[in-house]
Chains A and B, each alone.
Chain A
Amino acid sequence: MELENKRESKVISKNIDVFYGDKQALFGIDLEIYKNEVTALIGPSGCGKSTFLRCINRMNDVIDICKITGEIEIDNFNIYKPDVDVVRLREKVGMVFQKPNPFPKSIYDNIAYGPSIHGIAKDKNEMDHIVETSLQKAALWNEVKDRLHEPGTGLSGGQQQRLCIARAISINPEIILMDEPCSALDPIATAKIEELIDSLKRSFTIVIVTHSMSQAARVSQRTGFFHLGKLIEMGETEKIFKNPNNTMTQDYITGRFG
């Protein structure tokens, strides 16, 4: 298939174990995420999918009792090497959370904050340009261009989430991690985010954790199913939802999990 030929690895997880204190949350996760594709991670609550997502930009580092072994390579570089600059890493790997969390600042400043602390914009003109293109890429520009200096928190839930996506892409990341980005949104706002995800994959590699099976089926090219900290099955999304290889995957996605 054409798709197969063009595929290029972006993230490779090698034998990742995660412990929270004595409790092991992930067991030897080996998986590959392809560039410019959307990879969905599904599984019941507590299965480790969000824990794994947070390994990709070392967000778990902020939890004291969390210990991680194994390797995650981004573009063939192990991000768990001791000398890795985590701030630089997170510049490359942005994140969007379940609940929209705009800063209590204006729409403009929400976007400008990242580029200014990372020193990305040379001057005001350049910053204006970044703010505009980020909002355009997040399909929010037309709705907010006349009120850029109003508070971001005054936007609707769906707009706030797109603002957070605009904020994430303003610093030119390569990978965007999304942890249930639509679970607090209504169906229309969800559809807009899904449409956005589809267009964003041209420029970014996206990993999305979702509880919505149909969302995983709609937005992703590959899907991984986690259960009790293990990756049970990873494969083409179409295959997973039409004819999965693993019985446990089938039981979960068809609602037979007891």
Chain B
Amino acid sequence: MSDEHIVKSYDEELQHLNDSLVQMGSLTEKLLYDSMNAITTVDKDAVSKIVESDAKINKFRSSIDQHIMTILVKRSPVAIDLRYAISTLKISQDLERIGDLAKGNAKKILPLPDDLPPEMLKRIESLGEMVQKQLKSTLDCFIEKSVQKSLDTIKSDEQVNDLATASIKEVLEFLSKDKKNLDFATNLLFVCKNLERAGDHLSRICQNVHYLIEGDYPQK
């Protein structure tokens, strides 16, 4: 396929869409990192910044929505361009949801109980790191438009799910030992669940990258 449209401004519009989505992706990466960091270091002061970043991500999402609407109205895109418009619309929705989940996690910061087993926190940190790694691969697969990377990233979501399940189990055990940890443990359960859901959104993004390139969704 030749890369350029006869109408140069059409290329510029698609490039702008691409750039906005990549920028939105980097903001989401930063937000997810900050949110995990705030939880594990019990940094309550970080929350207001995280809320601000999330609002910025939401703005990106509405501006991308508007931009895609303009492309649909002006260009009536077909084939690869149509798939590009539809996929980026969906991808921006998933990125926004990941932002919401990360913000939600940061809002759940409570002081760490004295009897918190260190390996439990370590495991949740690992879960956070794994989701961050997934987000990076997902953004790479969008930037590189790589079918193989999208398939690999979807596959590795299973590891996120396994680690989230193990973490949840561990938190429940911790909770059952002493009911005084109820608030803390409940929040931690939400954190694990939200990270797992962020992983699901990332898989969906990869499926949409696959659709963008191949015109169909990957076989389960």
A141 and B76 alpha carbons, distance in the complex (Å): 34
CB-defined interface of A218-252 with B at 8 Å, one 1/0 digit per residue? 00000000000000000000001111100101110
Asked whether any CB of chain A lies closer than 8 Å to the CB of B6, the reply is yes
Interface size class on chain A is 10 to 19
Find chain A residues with CB under 8 A from B82 CB. 241-242
Asked whether any CB of chain A lies closer than 8 Å to the CB of B218, the reply is no
Q: For window 29-83 of chain B, which residues contact chain A by CB distance below 8 Å?
A: 75-83
Find chain B residues with CB under 8 A from A242 CB. 78-79, 82-83, 215
A249 and B79 alpha carbons, distance in the complex (Å): 9
Nearest A residue (CB) for B84 = A254
Nearest B residue (CB) for A247 = B1
Q: For window 5-25 of chain B, which residues contact chain A by CB distance below 8 Å?
A: 5-7, 10
Cβ of A254 and Cβ of B78 under 8 Å apart?
Answer: yes
Chain B contact residues: over half helix, strand or loop, or mixed? loop
Chain A contact residues: over half helix, strand or loop, or mixed? helix
Cβ of B77 and Cβ of A254 under 8 Å apart?
Answer: yes
A213 and B76 alpha carbons, distance in the complex (Å): 9
CB-defined interface of B67-103 with A at 8 Å, one 1/0 digit per residue? 0000000011111111100000000000000000000
The total number of A-B Cβ pairs within 8 Å is 50
Find chain B residues with CB under 8 A from A243 CB. 79, 83, 214-216
Asked whether any CB of chain A lies closer than 8 Å to the CB of B119, the reply is no
Cβ of B79 and Cβ of A253 under 8 Å apart?
Answer: yes
Cβ of B76 and Cβ of A256 under 8 Å apart?
Answer: no
Find chain A residues with CB under 8 A from B79 CB. 240-244, 249-250, 253-254
Nearest B residue (CB) for A257 = B6
For residue B76, give the distance in angstroms from its CB to the closest CB of chain A. 6
Nearest A residue (CB) for B3 = A256
Asked whether any CB of chain A lies closer than 8 Å to the CB of B2, the reply is yes
Find chain A residues with CB under 8 A from B214 CB. 243
Cβ of B83 and Cβ of A256 under 8 Å apart?
Answer: no
Cβ of A250 and Cβ of B80 under 8 Å apart?
Answer: yes
A243 and B10 alpha carbons, distance in the complex (Å): 19
Nearest B residue (CB) for A248 = B1
Nearest A residue (CB) for B214 = A243
Find chain B residues with CB under 8 A from A244 CB. 79
Asked whether any CB of chain A lies closer than 8 Å to the CB of B144, the reply is no
Cβ of A256 and Cβ of B4 under 8 Å apart?
Answer: yes
Known: A243-B83, A243-B215. A258 touches B6 (CB 8 A): yes
Find chain A residues with CB under 8 A from B83 CB. 242-243
Asked whether any CB of chain B lies closer than 8 Å to the CB of A21, the reply is no
A258 and B4 alpha carbons, distance in the complex (Å): 9
Residues of A within 8 A of B (CB): 213-214, 217, 240-244, 247, 249-251, 253-258
Residues of B within 8 A of A (CB): 1-7, 10, 75-83, 214-216
A-B contact pairs, 21 of them (CB 8 A): A213-B78, A214-B76, A240-B79, A241-B79, A241-B82, A242-B79, A242-B83, A242-B215, A243-B214, A250-B79, A250-B80, A251-B2, A254-B79, A254-B80, A255-B5, A255-B6, A256-B2, A257-B2, A258-B2, A258-B4, A258-B6
Given contacts A251-B2, A254-B81, A255-B7, 10 further A-B contacts (CB under 8 A): A241-B79, A241-B82, A242-B78, A251-B1, A254-B78, A255-B5, A256-B1, A256-B2, A256-B5, A256-B6
Interchain residue pairs A-B with the least CB separation, the first 9: A243-B215, A241-B78, A250-B79, A256-B2, A255-B5, A253-B78, A254-B81, A247-B1, A256-B5
